[in-house]
Amino acid sequence: MPTAAPPSAANAEVAVRLRGIGKRFPGVIANDDINIDVHRGTIHAIVGENGAGKSTLMKILYGVQPPDSGTIEINGEQVNLHSPADAIKAGVGMVFQHFMLADNLTVLENVVLGAERLHGIGAKARAEVMRISDAYGLGIQPDRLVEELGVGARQRVEILKVLYRGARIVILDEPTAVLVPQEVDELFGNLRGLKAEGLSVIFISHKLDEVLSVADEITVIRRGTTVQTVEPEGVTARQLAELMVGSELPSPSTEASTVTDQVLLRVRDLALPSDYASEGGRPLLDSVSFEIHRGEVLGIAGVEGNGQAELVESIMGMRPAATGLIELAGDDLSSRSTRQRREDGIGYIPEDRQRHGLLLDAPLWENRILGHQSRPPSVSHGLVDRRAARDDTQRIIREYDVRTPGPDVLARALSGGNQQKLIVGREMSGEPSLLIASHPTRGVDVGAQAAIWKHIKDARRNGLAVLLISADLDELIGLSDRIEVILRGRFVGSFDPAGVTPERLGSAMTGAGETA
Amino acid sequence: MTKARLTSIGLGVAAAALALLAAFVITSLVLLAAGDPVGDVWGQLLAWPEMRNWANIINNASVLYLSALAVAVGFRMNLFNIGVDGQYRVAAFTAAVVAGEAWLPGYLNTALAIVCAMAVGAIWAGIAGLLRAARGVSEVISTIMLNFIATGLVAYLLRQVSVREEGSNEIGTREIPEGSRIGGIPFGDYEIYGFIVIAAIAGFAFWFVLNRTRFGFDLRATGRSTTAAVASGIDVRRMTVAALMISGAIAGLVGLPILFGDSYTYGSTFQSGLGFAGIAIALLGRNNPIGIAFGAVLFAYLDEQSNPLQILVGVSPDIVAITQGVIVLTVVISYELVRRYGVRLEQREVARVLASSRTDKPKEVSA
Amino acid sequence: MRRTTKFAAVLAAGILALTACGSDSDGDSDAGSDDGNTAAPTSDVKVGMAYDVGGRGDQSFNDSAAAGLDQAKEEGLIAEAQESEAEDGEAESAREERLRTFADAGYDPIIAVGFAYAASVGKVAEEYPDIHFAIIDDSSLADVPNVASLVFAEEQGSFLVGAAAALKTESDHVGFVGGVETPLIQKFEAGYAAGVKAVNPDVKIDVKYLTQVPDFSGFADPAKGKTAAQGMYDNGADIVYHAAGGSGGGVFEAASEAGAKAIGVDSDQYNTADPSVKDVIMTSMLKNVNVAVYEYLKQVSGGTFPSGVTTYDLAVDGVGYSTSGGFIDDITDQLDEYKQQIIDGEITVPDKP
């Protein structure tokens, strides 16, 4: 496939030139003939499905892995990057998706940590931090503890860390995944500030609207190779997505309402005191009341950490301190254990699939049993039926398109999207009446996302009630029949997805909506 | 047998071989540094044992096997039962008293004593389980403390009930009547403990319960990820108590092969320290009943072969304690290396399948 | 798994540390046979010595036995000696194998030091009827023809030092520190108490054992010994008798700090203890294991293998008391009077408290 020469920005100097980059693992080609030019003073987005080879490419550029073939030129000079230290020396810095900050240190200390030799740890370092912060408009407060900072501010600290070490080329891996829309706008402002100072930004994302709004050039990667480099003016999000998957796309939009008049889940005055209640901590949940009918999807919108996880865990019976009424199809659940609640027909897709949803070092068929230990087909009369568990895992692999050589593979070996498909398939088996889905498509590639949406919608048509928690507002709006916004443990607003924009939801999530 | 399973067994054997080789090299270096005759030491350690020694090895291995099995139950749930040592001593003492009193005739007496030993072991370990479940007390700390308490308690009770043979400075419980002893199994000209059958049954039960029952699944799931276990509906506190009690019940069997097959009394020279050897062997055997059997035989073999070192080669048998310690270290390191290698291998396999399944259905759309 | 890794490292470090502590004994293990070459062998007796836990170098019981062996070797009574020591908490079969290894390698006689060998000597002696065994501190094998039992009347020696304590105390308050509460050490306690009461029934006796079986660390823990003795001195005792092996050093330290007196055990500890504390050692109860071993080997080299029980009591000077330092020179007459009464049977010393 020919790589089109970048139409504009061609006059700018090339900061990073990748030519013919290839990386093979036995039996797999992770990268093959990657060609990218990143120009100085531009934001260059790299988009692609999970597993398309983005992270391998970035590891190569950041010196974590050497390429098998191809050349890397930085500012016109060919370089060999054997370690991140080499990359930093060459002016390449990386901001990871998961922040690497020490909570109990101040911002200044975090920045200086590991780079003490540059400007010491005293007044000189502080002056340098403030200089960078002012130059790029990062608004850093050097003496605050990191634990007091919000997500957006932490991300700015990470960016500052990279700049402090002298980076002129900044790689950001999925930087918006953890941000609310307002914070995303701030981040983009910062990135434009970097660009204006002549730095180059490489921006990895799969949120195509954001990419289109901020990037100067977009390179699409599919199956380890560069498909095309385009300018945002010339394409739509849909076209980009189709380039990414190489096929036409579904959308999350709901079809005709399937909401019935039968209440399945009734929650009244659900409250959960803070773990530090005696020290005056604010309750984690405060008089939350709602109902979900059969065939209805209730979406919960909110900035992370406002009680979503606690709400889900209270309904699942994992929070013994919770008070209030929870009824499933008219039965009071308060005295039932998590296992009984599951047996009563609640399916549960946990927020953190690796910690709560999977046994990473167990084979897939054992993961199929998890949460269904008391139910056929995998278990009968207290004995594990391995054959049945394997067969049913095969069914899930087939129906949910889990990409794996078979049910005996360890869960750890699967990519995030395939792990998630396995979980969804598992939780949908046994025909649940209620599905609690926390971020069901987070970190999942476009193809898998579409498949998961389809399964949820199909089940909803058959009368499944769904409690959907998601940070992806498009997903919430597209799937839900109703959206509740949660803020500091309380429901603060109810929206009809048909008439709401992500911006309005975002305002409500941060509390700005109360006055608006 | 699937290919994946063959691969995993192959990797396991490779890991053990690698570890033993490394331990061999390191121990040799230690011997060299100490100026000891390396060749003579290995000559003695690796000489083919005589039948009598084999009988001893098998006997000691059956004892170590039970100890490691008890530790492994906890390990499977990520619980560290350091207290097997105390548990087996309390239990063996109980069994010795019950069997010595002979309230029931013959083998009924034996059975009662075994049940009592398991119950006492389970209760003793259950204390640590309850503390962990109710108050979050680390089982490492509480089982260590319970070891001390067990020592004092058994010593006190032993003095209360002890009988002493004329002319001997040993004290011990009353001897188990002949009809309640467990006879040996002929082994060449020698005999091995009949109790080995019970050890084998315990090993099978361990495997079956852990791998084939829902309870075992819950236990392993909790060990692999407490958070995922909670989310799946497992009552982790109850599992903690149950796992430690089972561990304690098996620990209760540890001293019994000796008691019913050799000493017939619990006294001041009853073998001690078996619980700690069990920890090392459980690590060596990767908490797997077959692996533990090999580990137990290896440790018993080294113990047996090292005994004459001082007399015949003039080297302290402590060298074998060093070897055993080094084996534990190298084993853990090599298992971890091989585990990582295995995961990488599998990830590649997955990626390969993924890549080929994609090329199976090529769909190209141009922008 | 990560937790397991960490744990294993700690465990292995612990094992290595333990063996590092214990392995210094191996340098000494064959010292005896080397020394044997210096004296011209006039005998073809090959002796196997199976020590209890601690072995040669324990400054106590095992060392005393080793001294008897060394003396026999110096005098050319035996041609060769090989030594081996027990491991703490070892299996019964390990003790048996130790004896069998000696037997198979042609050692005859084989001396088992300590009552822990009773069962294994009994078993192995039966398997090797042509080899001769000796066991110290046990008489349960009195009827086995190829076993000699060497036992001591510890209660008699303890009686005398008890009497000495009662005669010397100014506070009418003395103490006893036992290493491990076994019947053997209880003999020391019983004799000591009887000796004290014989002089003055009103003297108060504090008794403390450092550990209980199967924890034998009470024989090798000076810190514990010191704490126990300190308590007694603080409580008003002015003389403390210890039967606690290596832990006795702590008792002497405590006595030195309290400006009080202590009584040693097994050998004349005035001569062997640390010079800084020797002045607190009023006397020592002598349990002459070395004499028993030497006498036994002397008979063996003369061509006769003794069997049955030989009791080393006051009558044969198998036990006694020491006078080094001259602290009890003024009361030796009284003590010797008691000694004679015991030998004559006028006083029967109890061997159980």
Q: Domains of chain A by range and CATH?
A: 14-245 (3.40.50.300), 262-345+432-516 (3.40.50.300), 356-429 (no CATH)
Q: Which of A324, A338, A254, A345 is nearest to A296 (CA)?
A: A254
Q: Report yes or no: C140 at the B interface, CB cutoff 8 Å.
A: yes
Question: pLDDT of chain C along its 353 residues, tens only?
Answer: 445 555 555 555 555 444 444 444 443 444 344 444 444 456 788 999 999 887 887 777 888 899 999 999 999 889 889 999 888 788 889 999 999 999 999 999 999 998 889 999 999 999 999 999 999 999 888 899 999 999 999 999 999 999 999 999 999 999 999 998 888 899 999 999 999 999 999 999 999 999 887 777 888 889 999 999 999 999 999 999 999 988 889 999 999 999 999 999 988 889 888 888 889 999 999 999 999 999 999 999 988 898 999 999 999 888 999 998 889 999 999 999 999 999 999 999 998 88
Which of A51, A223, A373 is nearest residue B218 as measured by Cβ atoms? A373
Instruction: Note whether C97 contacts B56, CB cutoff 8 Å.
Output: yes
Which residues of B fall within a CB distance of 8 Å from C102?
311
Which of B151, B164, B280 is nearest residue C212 as measured by Cβ atoms? B151
Query: Which tokens is B297 given?
Result: 């035989």
Taking the C-alpha atoms of residue A254 and residue A490, their distance in angstroms, rounded to an integer, is: 27
Residue type for A152, please?
G
Taking the C-alpha atoms of residue C185 and residue B170, their distance in angstroms, rounded to an integer, is: 11
Taking the C-alpha atoms of residue A400 and residue A417, their distance in angstroms, rounded to an integer, is: 11
Instruction: Note whether B156 contacts C3, CB cutoff 8 Å.
Output: no
Residue type for B254, please?
V
Taking the C-alpha atoms of residue B316 and residue C181, their distance in angstroms, rounded to an integer, is: 29
Taking the C-alpha atoms of residue B62 and residue B49, their distance in angstroms, rounded to an integer, is: 17
SS3 (DSSP) at B286: coil
Q: Which of residues 382-411 of A touch B (CB under 8 A)?
A: 382-384, 386, 403-406, 408-410
Q: What are phi and psi of A30, to 5 degrees?
A: -85, -45
Contact at 8 Å (CB) between B330 and B280? no
User: What value of ipTM does the predicted structure carry?
Assistant: 0.83
A28-70 pLDDT, tens digit each: 567 888 899 999 999 999 988 766 778 788 888 888 888 888 8
Instruction: Note whether B221 contacts A409, CB cutoff 8 Å.
Output: no
Contact at 8 Å (CB) between C303 and C297? no
CA distance to partner chain B, nearest, from residue C111 (Å): 14
Which of B217, B352, B353 is nearest residue A384 as measured by Cβ atoms? B217
pLDDT of the residue at B361 = 41
- Candidate CATH numbers 3.40.50.300, 1.10.3470.10, 3.20.20.70, 1.20.120.530; the one for domain B54-314: 1.10.3470.10
Q: Report yes or no: A27 at the B interface, CB cutoff 8 Å.
A: yes
Which residues of C fall within a CB distance of 8 Å from B172?
none
Interface test with C, best of B50, B64, B169 (most C CBs within 10 A): B169
The residue with tokens 């005999």 is B191
Count of CB atoms situated within 10 Å of the CB of C81: 23
Contact at 8 Å (CB) between B203 and B69? yes
pLDDT of the residue at A11 = 55
> Residue A201 pairs with which residues in a beta bridge?
A43, A170
Contact at 8 Å (CB) between A403 and B353? yes
DSSP secondary structure of C294-313: HHHHHHHHTT----EEEEE-
Q: Which of C13, C89, C53 is nearest to B280 (CA)?
A: C13
- Residues A486-503 as b/e (b if ≥16 CB within 10 A, e otherwise) read bbbbebbbebebeebebe
Domain residue ranges in chain B: 54-314
Alpha carbon A216 to chain centroid, angstroms:
23
Contact at 8 Å (CB) between A310 and A272? yes
Helices (H), chain C: 2-22, 31-36, 61-74, 92-104, 118-127, 154-168, 183-199, 222-234, 248-258, 269-272, 289-301, 332-343
Chain C's closest residue to B158, CA to CA, is C213
For chain B, how many residues are written? Answer: 367
Count of CB atoms situated within 10 Å of the CB of A34: 26
Query: Which tokens is B40 given?
Result: 């003579």
Which residues of B fall within a CB distance of 8 Å from A418?
350
Q: Which of residues 329-358 of B touch A (CB under 8 A)?
A: 343, 346-355, 357-358
For B79: left if phi > 0, alpha if psi spans -120 to 50, otherwise beta; the answer is beta
Query: What is the sign, positive or negative, of the torsion defined by CA atoms of C123, C124, C128, C132?
Result: negative
Q: Average pLDDT, stretch A164-175?
A: 89
Count of H-run helices and E-run strands, chain B:
14, 2
Taking the C-alpha atoms of residue C161 and residue C156, their distance in angstroms, rounded to an integer, is: 9
Per residue, the 3-state secondary structure of A293-312, as one string, reads ECCCEEEEECCCCCCHHHHH
Taking the C-alpha atoms of residue C275 and residue C44, their distance in angstroms, rounded to an integer, is: 40
Q: Report yes or no: C5 at the B interface, CB cutoff 8 Å.
A: yes
pLDDT of the residue at C239 = 95
Integer angstrom CA distances of residue B95 from B126, B201, B212, B247, C10: 18, 19, 31, 17, 33
Contact at 8 Å (CB) between A46 and A54? yes
Chain B's closest residue to C7, CA to CA, is B80
> Residue C309 pairs with which residues in a beta bridge?
C149
Contacts of A487 (CB under 8 A, 6+ apart): A302, A303, A306, A508, A509, A510, A511
Residue A257 has pLDDT above 80, yes or no: no
Instruction: Note whether C23 contacts B165, CB cutoff 8 Å.
Output: no
CA distance to partner chain A, nearest, from residue B2 (Å): 9
A320-351 pLDDT, tens digit each: 889 999 999 999 998 899 999 999 999 999 98
Question: pLDDT of chain B along its 367 residues, tens only?
Answer: 566 677 778 888 888 888 889 889 998 998 898 888 888 889 888 999 999 999 999 999 999 999 999 999 999 999 999 999 999 999 999 999 999 999 999 999 999 999 999 999 999 999 999 999 999 999 999 999 999 999 889 988 988 888 877 777 788 899 999 999 998 899 988 999 999 999 999 999 999 999 999 999 999 999 999 999 999 999 999 999 999 999 999 999 999 999 999 889 998 888 888 988 999 999 888 899 999 999 999 999 999 998 888 888 888 877 888 888 888 888 888 888 888 888 788 777 777 776 665 444 433 333 3
Taking the C-alpha atoms of residue C238 and residue C196, their distance in angstroms, rounded to an integer, is: 13
Chain B's closest residue to C48, CA to CA, is B311
- Residues B51-75 as b/e (b if ≥16 CB within 10 A, e otherwise) read ebbbbbbbbbbbbbbbbbbbbbbbb
What is the set of domains in chain C, with CATH numbers?
25-152+290-312 (3.40.50.2300), 154-286+323-343 (3.40.50.2300)
Residue type for A174, please?
E
Query: Which tokens is B260 given?
Result: 């019913």
Which residues of C fall within a CB distance of 8 Å from B304?
93-94, 97
Per DSSP, B171 falls in state -
Chains in touch with C (≥3 Cβ pairs < 8 A): B
Which of A342, A370, A409 is nearest residue B346 as measured by Cβ atoms? A409
Report which secondary-structure segment, H or E, holds A265.
strand A263-272
Integer angstrom CA distances of residue B73 from B252, B254, B283, C107, C260: 13, 14, 12, 46, 54
Interface test with A, best of B2, B227, B347, B350 (most A CBs within 10 A): B350
Taking the C-alpha atoms of residue A459 and residue A437, their distance in angstroms, rounded to an integer, is: 13
Residue type for A200, please?
S
Taking the C-alpha atoms of residue A347 and residue A337, their distance in angstroms, rounded to an integer, is: 14
Taking the C-alpha atoms of residue A292 and residue A298, their distance in angstroms, rounded to an integer, is: 7
Count of CB atoms situated within 10 Å of the CB of A130: 15
Q: Average pLDDT, stretch A98-108?
A: 85
Which of B165, B263, B303 is nearest residue C92 as measured by Cβ atoms? B263
Contact at 8 Å (CB) between B294 and B15? no
Which of B89, B167, B271 is nearest residue C139 as measured by Cβ atoms? B167
Alpha carbon B214 to chain centroid, angstroms:
23
pLDDT of the residue at C42 = 62
pLDDT of the residue at C1 = 46
Chain C's closest residue to B302, CA to CA, is C94
The residue with tokens 């499905």 is A49
Q: Report yes or no: A2 at the B interface, CB cutoff 8 Å.
A: no
- Burial class of residue C220, CB neighbours in 10 A (0-12, 13-18, 19+): buried
> Residue A25 pairs with which residues in a beta bridge?
A28
Q: Report yes or no: A350 at the B interface, CB cutoff 8 Å.
A: yes
Which residues of A fall within a CB distance of 8 Å from B212?
383-384, 386
- Burial class of residue B82, CB neighbours in 10 A (0-12, 13-18, 19+): buried
